[in-house]
Structure 1
Amino acid sequence: MEGLQTERVQHWRRTRAFTVLIVLAMLIAITFLISMDTGIIRLPPMDVIRTLFGQGDAKQGLILFDFRLPRIVISVLVGAGLAISGCILQGISRNGLADPGILGINSGAGLMVVLFISFYPVNATAPAVLMPFLAFVGAALTAALIYVLAFKRHEGLSPSRLVLVGIAVAAGISAVMMVLELMLDPENFQFVAMWLAGSITGTDWSYVMALLPWLVVLVPYVIYKARVLDVLNLGDQVATGLGAPVEKERILLLGAAVALAAACVAVGGGIGFVGLIGPHLARRLVGGKHQFLVPASALAGGLLLIVADTLARCVVPSTELPTGIVVAVIGAPYFLYLLARSQA
């Protein structure tokens, strides 16, 4: 009787999780359509539909296909990638405050991109596909440094120490980037300032193609490792007792989280808090099983960023705010709320 009741509960949870995933996907689709009509130059819904089917004029086609669609697609991809990265970090560290931005991984990726811009002029044709690789190098070195400083031989990886070390390393990297910014010429300085603020403006389909392969390879891998994340979330001793190679799996998953965050930062700029809010929202909706938590985090992160990007284009008339600022307005109070609750 108890077995039958347990099976019914599990079936109900699976049904609820699939329903949540479908609803999140539908909300992204609706926001996608609204976002195509949002901007300094308005495109009425019927004009958007006609342009999508090749019936619009040259100006409408330029606005929609060359400017808005790449930006909207990148918003969804970057939001999904950052949210999955945060989900992995929260799982392997057992810390709800873990986030690639808070832990300094985004800063490490940003530092490498700023170094690249310092020696490579903005007006030159920089290969977009190279940026994620450079950002990955910076993010990987930063993650390795944080891991070494936070890990203790007899205590393992302390969740609180991980966050504190990450914040300290991020502060140090931010100071280095400020020094580098002061050495840039005005054109490069303006570009870096907008990029660090999380501005997705100026993107095109080449950036979509530079980011997409990273997600296509890494997201299925993370979903495949969902059960491993469930085991690691139980603690090192329990995971070892269940036969899981804890350190090996943690390093592999950490590498996936770093690669996702680095690729997203290289394309989307310094956007924070998505990796924090996305997994928390998903966990409230589908529970803690990573089989559903990972895809739900991706959809929640994509929805958050596309909504923020849409708001960034319509909050202030005749201008566009950096998307990262809108996300920070939402994310900073939420982070403080989680921090206060964790200390309670």
Structure 2
Amino acid sequence: MKRLAFKWIFGAGLILLMGLILVNLTLGTDALSFSRVFAVFFGNGEVLENFILFELRLPRLLIVLLAGVSLVLSGSLLQTVLKNDLADPGIIGINSGAGVGIALFFLFVPFQVESFGALLPLAGGIGALITAAFILLFSRRSPGSLILNGIGFAFAMSGLMVLLMSSANREKVDFLAKWLSGSIWGMDWLFVWIFIGLLVLITPILFIFNRTLDLLTLNENTALNLGVRVGMWRVFFLVFAVLLAAVPVSITGSITFLGLIGPHIAKALVGPRHKLFLPVAMIIGAFLFLLADTIAMRLNLPAGILLSLIGSPYFIYLLFKKIKNP
């Protein structure tokens, strides 16, 4: 029954996503009709239309879709490995750690972002991994405090970013301010290929070891009795979760709550088995981020702000639910 529901839900999600993709491609300062979008794709577009679609809109579209997939996969892994429904890379400080790494690179390395922008995901990844290591170190004696420690680190990293920005020139402060608001700054094909490389490397591994992920949701003693090396696999998947968050955040800016919402909706639709809910979560993540970006373009707002407005009430609801039913 779940498999049948999965097929219908996954198919319906793909159809909705494709419809939203077409709508997104037609919006912008220079509007393109649906017929012109298809004409450009089939090689019958004018020079300006080709430039608008292939150099401006398509890279941004793919970056938003791939970022949505990456962030939801990161949130799914964090919720599984940490056994906490409130886990999200933005909430537990991973995004802020990536931000500090980006700020340090951007402010103190004497390169132009336009020339060395591909190094920002690397700087963000290093910052996120260091922050995640400190959060885990502080939480090792009390795993239940991990979320609170993560929130504390998020505030501390945000404060450090403000301190770093106070010593920077106006141009660099403007860039970092846009990054903090979740404004998608990286819109080159180079970043699309970085995303594709990341997901091609990690996603197949998650589906190959989906049963291991299922076992990690069980009681630790039960998982150990079933032959799962819990400690090793937790570190393994945590590193993947951090990388899946750090790279999109480095390119799209600070995006919070997407990794929280996507897995919850997917589990509600098809159940908690990773083999079923991960593909659905990937569709949901791509759809929600693209929907936020599409609306944000019309309202001239950063997509990250819209996602925060959607995700904040849901996080508060989950928090109260967890307090009532610990």
Of the three residues 300, 303, 314, the one matched with 2:287 is 303
- CA shift, 1:275, in A, is 0.4
The residue number in structure 1 matching 2:151 is 167
- CA shift, 1:202, in A, is 5.2
Q: Counterparts in 2 of 1:73-152, with a 5 A limit?
A: 73-120=62-109, 123-152=112-141
* Root-mean-square deviation over aligned CA pairs: 1.5
Which deviates further from its counterpart, 216-225 or 269-278?
216-225
- CA shift, 1:123, in A, is 4.6
CA contact (8 A) 2:186 2:252 kept: no
**Partner Cα separation in structure 2 for residue 308 and residue 106 of structure 1:** 19
Of the three residues 195, 202, 207, the one matched with 1:223 is 207
CA contact (8 A) 1:71 1:201 kept: no
The residue number in structure 2 matching 1:271 is 255
Of the three residues 302, 307, 317, the one matched with 1:337 is 317
Q: Please give the per-residue CA displacement for 1:25-81, whole angstroms capped at 9, x wherever unaligned.
A: 222111111100112322111121212222222222222111111111001100000
Of the three residues 269, 273, 289, the one matched with 1:285 is 269
Of the three residues 24, 44, 58, the one matched with 1:69 is 58
Matched, 1:34 2:23: yes
Instruction: Kindly tell me the number of residue pairs found equivalent between the two proteins.
Output: 324
The secondary structure found in structure 1 opposite 2:115 is coil
**Partner Cα separation in structure 2 for residue 102 and residue 230 of structure 1:** 23
CA contact (8 A) 1:140 1:258 kept: yes
Letter of the structure 2 residue corresponding to residue 285 of structure 1: L
Q: Please give the per-residue CA displacement for 1:206-263, whole angstroms capped at 9, x wherever unaligned.
A: 1111222011101111122211111110121211121110100000000110111111
- TM-score normalised according to structure 2 size: 0.95
Which deviates further from its counterpart, 78-87 or 107-116?
107-116
CA contact (8 A) 2:106 2:113 kept: no
Letter of the structure 1 residue corresponding to residue 11 of structure 2: I
The residue number in structure 2 matching 1:4 is none
Which runs of no fewer than 5 residues in structure 1 stay unpaired? 1-11
Letter of the structure 1 residue corresponding to residue 120 of structure 2: M
Which runs of no fewer than 5 residues in structure 2 stay unpaired? none
Change (3 A) 1:306 1:20: same
Of the three residues 283, 304, 308, the one matched with 1:324 is 304
Matched, 1:246 2:230: yes
Seq. identity, %:
38
